[in-house]
Amino acid sequence: MKFLKNTYFLLRHGETPYQLKKEKIHYPWPESSPILLTERGKKQIEILAKKLKQENIDLIFSSDIPRAHQTAKIIAQELGLKVNLDLRLRDINYGIYHGRSRKEFYQDFPDEEKRFYTAPQNGESWSDCKKRVLDFIEEIDKKYQGKKILIIAHGDPLWLLEGVIKDKTNEELLKEKMEGKVVKVGELRKIKNKK
């Protein structure tokens, strides 16, 4: 993006039981049995919420998937703000692989580069996810000016969102992912306006 009218804070939801095991893929749309934060995850977000008070956040946008929404509610309560839910911030949809092993998914999708253009049946490619987060940030940045906006979502959408804001190519994004430079669980990143 050429410029930003606002300052953005990107936050990946707090720790969940899924982050502790990562054996199966848990990305149903909609989520029938929600994965919520662990006690450690809740404490992690409560501590972060107190630190965020110093930033004078104006608006909170969150994925509606329970682990992100729960994270957003903890912060919103501390900051005295309301949570704006947006479906475009949902985690990437793995389609038919929901509930199946990660090993099985990676056997069928071994080439990371092709994941930008190849989607699992009933699911999304990285390009599909990138398109929806780009649509979200363009709309928000057009609507507001000079605001401090907290965005709470999931690993892949935040990785792709940060990439589109910073005008990164798919190759640069993939390199970043391979090097583990993506937003970690409970991590906050600040992206300042570039006027």
Task: Give the integer Cα–Cα distance in Å for 89 and 100.
Answer: 23
Mean pLDDT of 155-167: 96
pTM for this entry: 0.94
Beta bridge partners of 26: none
What is the pLDDT, as a whole number, of residue 193? 62
Question: Other C-beta atoms within 10 Å of 31: how many?
Answer: 16
Average pLDDT of the segment spanning 1-29: 81
- Note the residue count of the chain: 195
Q: Which helix (H) or strand (E) holds 61?
A: strand 59-62
Q: Establish if 71 belongs to a structural domain.
A: yes
Residue range 65-121, pLDDT digits in tens:
999 999 999 999 999 999 999 999 999 999 999 888 888 999 999 999 999 999 999
Q: How confident is the model at residue 27 (pLDDT cuts 50, 70, 90)?
A: low
Token code pair at residue 60: 């909170």
What is the predicted pLDDT for the residue at 164?
Answer: 94
> Is residue 1 a part of any domain in this protein?
no
Both structure tokens of 56: 């004078």
CATH number reported for the structural domain that contains residue 154 in this entry: 3.40.50.1240
Q: Is residue 133 part of a domain?
A: yes
Instruction: Classify residue 79: in a domain, yes or no.
Output: yes
pLDDT band, residue 29 (cuts 50/70/90): low
Closest by Cα among 162, 134, 160, 185 to 8: 162
Q: Which domain holds residue 110?
A: 7-191
Residue 138 placed within a domain: yes
Residue 22's region, left for phi above 0, alpha for psi from -120 to 50, else beta, is left
Q: Is residue 22 part of a domain?
A: yes
pLDDT of residue 98: 84
Domain count, the chain: 1
Q: Counting Cβ atoms within 10 Å, is residue 9 exposed (0-12), middle (13-18) or buried (19+)?
A: middle
pLDDT at 102: 85
Instruction: Compute the mean pLDDT over every residue in the chain, rounded to the nearest whole number.
Output: 92
Q: pLDDT value at position 195? A: 52
Report the C-alpha gap between 12 and 157 in whole angstroms. 9
- The answer as to whether 2 is a domain residue is no
| 110-127 as b/e: b if 16+ CB within 10 A | eeeeebbeebbeebbbbe
